[in-house]
Amino acid sequence: MDRLRASLGIAALLAAAAVLLDASGAVAGGRWGAEYFPNVPLTTQDGTVVRFYDDLLKGKAVVINLIYTRCTASCPLETAKLAQVQRLLGDRVGKDVFFYSISIDPTHDTPEALKAYAERFHVGPGWLFLTGKDEDVRLVSKKLGLSSPTDAVTRDGHQPALMVGNEATGEWMRNSAVENPKFLAAMMSDFFGWRTGKSVRTYAKPVAVPPTGKGEYLFNTRCASCHTIGKGDGLGPDLVHATAVRERAWLTRYVAEPDQMLAEGDPLALALFAKYKSVRMPNLGLNSEEVDAILAHLEQRSRAALEQVHKR
Ligand code: HEC
């Protein structure tokens, strides 16, 4: 109960912060509504043309982020996480809330490219991947407060943020898209006022207590959407044997810059890439201290997982 109250408190704080975070000053002129959002046409992964305001926002509860399929930085992690949030929210997605991922690389991201991308992450119904004209997409992301001045130069620098909004009430809140999925799902349930409804699964199973170790925290927030330690392959390989079978220097570099190693033609990176064709291991911009903490956690958890297996 205390934990529940604590998380409600956090949601309230975040909601309050959202008003302050509105950089474009929309709140001053009243709520974000028809006059505020551009009604530009966008195309879904199925090739349907929709209007941003009329079809996607009007009267709806929504979760919106920016992605692009060639991204080798944080977008694959964001997408993997949102897919977990979608699973946690169950059939509310597509009924009580709609997910939208808008490509900031619209020229390259055709509807077909977006459809293939969505399939790789096992995205369910109620989640649209959208492309459109470059200037329209730019306007939409600016109005959502999701664009940054560097987007045009380095898309990889775009902020892994998530806008959660209720168009009907005019309430919007900005979140880090790399939060723990259970936290995000619980926060959304609070924000949209579903706590009393039937599928508050996130409260039936309380939100996990934040882990204490740095390596554990980093692993849970940055890696666990794609990897398990001893529970089988996810979007990426099970890492239970990684610290035992790979050389430490290789692992250290691979976790920090897999994209570089692939580009340089590292044989192991190439072999892994060929085997796990669908999703790519992202470069999450971790520093060497963070990588060390993650590998120490991985080593310890792997040992524990393997001991369990041997005991059985
Ligand atoms: C978006 C999904 C995703 C995320 C997030 C992710 N990985 Fe990966 N990882 C992969 C995929 C996919 C591969 C297989 C290689 C490829 O296809 O690029 C991989 C490969 C690896 C490998 C090589 C495994 C082996 O057999 O040698 C290690 C180690 C690894 N990841 C560690 C991590 C760590 C640590 C994190 C968190 C900091 C992380 N990954 C985050 C998807 C991901």
pLDDT of 186-217, one tens digit each?
Answer: 999 999 988 755 444 444 445 555 556 899 99
Phi-psi region for residue 211, left (φ > 0), alpha (ψ -120 to 50) or beta?
beta
Distance of CA 250 to the CA centre of its chain: 27
Q: How confident is the model at residue 228, as a pLDDT?
A: 95
CA-nearest residue, atom 37 of ligand 1: 223
Q: How many angstroms is it from 45 CA to the middle of ligand 1?
A: 26
CA-nearest residue, atom 25 of ligand 1: 242
Q: Which residue has the higher pLDDT, 155 or 2?
A: 155
- To 5 degrees, how large is the angle CA 60–CA 65–CA 68? 135
Tell me the mean pLDDT in the region 103-126.
95
Query: If pLDDT is split at 50, 70 and 90, which confidence band does 1 have?
Result: very low
Q: How confident is the model at residue 179, as a pLDDT?
A: 78
Which of the listed residues 117, 122, 226, 262 should we mutate to test ligand 1's pocket, taking the one with most ligand atoms within 8 A of CB?
226
CA 110 to CA 12: how far, in whole Å? 38
CA-nearest residue, atom 8 of ligand 1: 281
Query: If pLDDT is split at 50, 70 and 90, which confidence band does 177 have?
Result: confident
Residue 255 Cβ inside 6 Å of ligand 1? The answer reads yes
